[in-house]
Structures are given as C-alpha cells and as structure tokens.
Structure 1
Amino acid sequence: MKVLLIDDHPLILSALQSVIQGLGSHVSVIGVGSARATRETLKRDSDFDLVLLDLHLGDADGFELLAELRSSYPALPVVVVSASDRASDVIRAIDLGAMGFVPKRASNETLFEALHMVMSGGIYVPPMTLGSERRAEKPEGDTVPSVLHVVGQSALDSGFQTQPALDAIGLTPRQTEVLALLLQGQPNKMIARELGLSVETVKDHVAAVLRALGVSSRTQAVLAVSQMSQQSGGFAAWRKSK
C-alpha cells in the first residue's frame, strides 16, 4: 500500500509517517509539507492507494485542496487528519468527498481502524465528534444536522460505546443496494444505470432510504451510516451479513 501524507508541521508529519509505516512492510509512505509539493508529487506519480490530508496548510486551504484532489484524482481516497473535530468540519470534509475524518488526538488504534474501514470501501467519522457537541456550547456558525444530534445523543447516553444499528432501520434489499451506491457518491442517473432501474424509481428509493435514516440529505446519510456501521465492522460487512 502506497500512502501520501500531507502536513506542514514537520514533527507531526514525521510521527504520522512512523505510525503508518508501522502497519507493515507492505506499506510505503511519502510525506510532503505543502499543497504545492502535493501537486508536484502526484504529477510525477499518481499511483497512490491513499492520501492523508491535514486541513491547515501554510500555502493553501485544506478544504480547497481536498476538493481539488477529489476532482483531479477521483479514484484516490482521501482521509482528513485534523486537529479540529468540529462537526461542521467533519460534514464539510465528507461533503467534499473525503472518505474519512480522524482527529489528531485519536489513538493509533483508531487511526488504523479508520484506514482499514476506508481501504475496505467504507467511510470513517469520529464517534466523539457528534456527542461532544452536546457537552459544550456550539461555536458560532457551526450548524449540525438533526441526525447528528440523534446519533450524538445515543452515543452520549451509552458512554460512546454503541451506535444505533443499521438493522434497526429496516431497509429492503433494493434500498440497501441503492444506499451502497449512494455512499459511493453516485448520482441518481448512475445508480439507475447500475441497477437497471428508471431514474424516477431510484429517486423513490433514495427518498425512502433518507426517511429510514431520519435525514434529509446524502451527506447526512453518509455520516449516519458511518456511525451506525462502525459497530458491525463497516457497511460492507453489514451487507454481507444480510
């Protein structure tokens, strides 16, 4: 596995390199400290399996670089590793196409779990982020969809040990297929083509999935499913158990 680390703090970059290299001899890690170096590295060689991106870079806004990477290299998964764990930052990163969001205060085990989930085709967001919004006053301008309050309250009530189960939402097999493609960021037309359905039928299925999850947008659905599926080893593992 070939990993590109992007962080402008030399000590953190070095520490992350050591941690990721600890995954095994099959892992090679290249670290860069700027958006410019990122572009140059990927221009020379874009054959990476994963990118870990810090949001605070000296020469670029991390969110803008995330959007650029997802546009230029759509098959390359990007995981944000940030000092922030604000729900608004998590939501924005996922909305821009990040496959995961790991706070820098997380343990090595949490980072490994997140990377495993992403490399298995899932999406990772930190459970603590959602519940912590209940413990402190929200920063000004920080908006959190209602689903995050629901998931966060469940996490808070249970001591952050369990999340609502995917089994509890009662999706049909077809709705599960639609959700799997929705989580990959596929638009309705592509989902319709993949499943051999009409676009109108797909719209009905997507609406049913959002209602079942208690959310109103695709981004909220991604976050909710990520939270729900972490206890069952990820959405892919949950699907196989059906």
Structure 2
Amino acid sequence: MPYDITIDTTAPTLAAPFPRAAVISADHLCGQGVARLIERAVAPSHLDVFDTLWSIDRTTDYRLVVRQVADLDSDVEFEVAHLRTLRSPPVIALVVPPEASGSITTLISCGADLLLSGRETPQALQIALAGVAAGFCVVSPGVVRSTPAVPLSAAAHSTATDPFTSELARLTPRQREIVTLVVSGLPNKLIARRLGISEGTVKVHLTTIFRNFAAKNRTELTCRFLKSGILAVE
C-alpha cells in the first residue's frame, strides 16, 4: 500500500514535468526523504511511496520511479528490467548508498536512467533529469566516488579510459550543469536564469568547455556528449 504524501505545489518545475511519480523504499523514513526531494525538484501532481516494487499498480502511468536500493545485485537488475515492461516505461532512478557493493555499469546496461547518491539538492536533481531527457544516463559523482564501476567488456574499459571521459571528469560541478542544459537545448539566457548566475558567466564557462573538448560551437559539443552516452552531474 502507498503512503499518503502531501504535495508542495509551490516547488519549482521542469520544462518536461512528471505528473505522476513513485518512490520505492523498504525504509519508510528514507522513502519519505526521497519523496520530499522529488516534490521540491519536479512538483509532481501525484506522488506515491511504496515499500516494494510489487505494490505498484501496473495500470498507473508513472513517468518517474525512484528506487532506493541497498546493494547493486541481481534483484535490483531484475526490478529495473521489470519497470521497463510497464505500459509506459518511466524514467528509472536508483538511490545508491555509499556502502553499496556491486557494479554501476551493470545497472546502466540493464536500463537505469539515473543513479543518485541521495544527497543531491533539488536543483541538482532537476539538472540530472534534464540530462536524462537529452538522452544521457546520468550518474551522480557521489555514486561514482563510492561505488566501483567494473567494465562489462573490453569495449567498456576502453570507453572509460577515453580522453573524452578524462576531460569530462575535469569539469567543475558548475560546468557539468551548464553542459547538461546546453545539450538539453537551453540558450545562455535561460541557463543563466536556471542556475542563478549572469549570462556573461555562462559564456565564460562555455568558452572553457569548448576549449577543453575542442568543440567549435554548441552543436559540435552536443554531438560529442550525445555520443559519449553518460554524463555525470554534481
């Protein structure tokens, strides 16, 4: 049975809102905490909190499902695959604790869209979801730092050591936010408004980003990031 959640309708919204969302957590208090984060980040019109995946009504059109996990094991992989079979497959986010064991690459390969540490701000979650909407699988740096990412193949290993990936790791948190919003199609003026900085500051960051990735313009930068497939957002 879902827990009752009071929705804060004054929370900020994304360009692509999530009218219905669900949180799955065996820990009631943790589930409530994640629900509050979602309320503040995307202001869904309806939000349910469940203690297990199997409590979800398959006929409900959830657009965002956040699953809090203890370990990155085969059960979680199965649940992600199951969520992909829903009538309208939702954006799937997993909250991974620092002590979790397992490989995040396995979760990415089986269909997770977003890996969170649980310590993100509402603004960081907004930006991460914008990255998912732009076609990325987004991984929080908190997850990357605390969880081993074991490559699934030699090809995956070569990707992890690619110069592009190295440059991505060198971006500051603010630059990662800007890149995600650029890839989402936002102009400098809207990026500045979203991040609460001046348009001139956005241009300065973009100049550095273009130079680091040898990109001549926004289109070239977007193409390079879309080809990489994974973007880490602070």
Tell me, yes or no, whether TM beats 0.5: yes
Determine the structure 2 residue equivalent to 1:18: 36
Residue 3 of structure 1: how far off its partner (Å) = 0.2
Question: Equivalences for 1:17-96 in 2 at 5 Å?
Answer: 17-23=35-41, 26-38=44-56, 41-42=57-58, 45-56=59-70, 61-73=75-87, 75-84=89-98, 89-96=103-110
For the pair 1:147 / 2:159, whether they are aligned, the reply is: yes
Partner of 1:203 in structure 2?
none
Deviation at 1:222? 1.8
Assess if the C-alpha contact under 8 Å between 2:114 and 2:138 holds in 1.
Answer: yes
- Looking at structure 2, the residues matched to 122 and 155 of structure 1 have their Cα atoms a distance apart, in angstroms, of 14
Report SS of the residue matched to 2:48.
strand
Please name the residue that 2:114 is paired with.
Answer: 100
**2-structure distance, mates of 1:75, 1:10:** 25
Does the CA contact (< 8 Å) of 1:52 and 1:78 recur in 2?
Answer: yes
Q: Does 1:222 align with 2:229?
A: yes
* Cα distance change on mapping 1:95 and 1:114 into 2, 3 Å: same
Structure 1, unpaired ranges of 5+: 184-208, 210-220, 232-242
SS at match of 1:30: strand
Alpha-carbon distance between aligned partners in 1 of 2:82 and 2:69, rounded to the nearest angstrom: 13
Once the two structures are superposed, what CA deviation does each residue of 1:38-57 show, in whole Å capped at 9, x if it has no partner?
Answer: 3xx22xx3311111112338
Distance 2:119 2:43 in 1: 25
* TM-score under structure 1 length normalisation: 0.54
- Give the superposition deviation at 1:104: 1.5
In the other structure, the counterpart of 1:237 is: none
CA RMSD of aligned residues (A): 4.2
Q: How many residues align?
A: 174
Partner of 1:186: none
Counterpart position of 2:203: none
Query: What residue number does 2:179 align with?
Result: none
Q: For the structure 1 residues 84 and 95, does the alpha-carbon distance in structure 2 shift closer, same or farther, using more than 3 Å as the test?
A: farther
Aligned with 1:168 (options 214, 226, 229): 214
Q: Could you state the TM-score of these two structures normalised by the residue count of structure 2?
A: 0.56
Unaligned residue ranges in structure 2 (runs of 5+):
1-18, 177-208
Structure with more helix by fraction? 1
Q: Which residue type is aligned with residue 147 of structure 1?
A: T
Q: Secondary structure at the match of 1:168?
A: coil
Residue-by-residue CA offset, 1:26-71 (whole Å, 9 max, x unaligned): 5321110112213xx22xx3311111112338xx822210011113
Contact 2:93 2:116 in 1 (8 A): yes
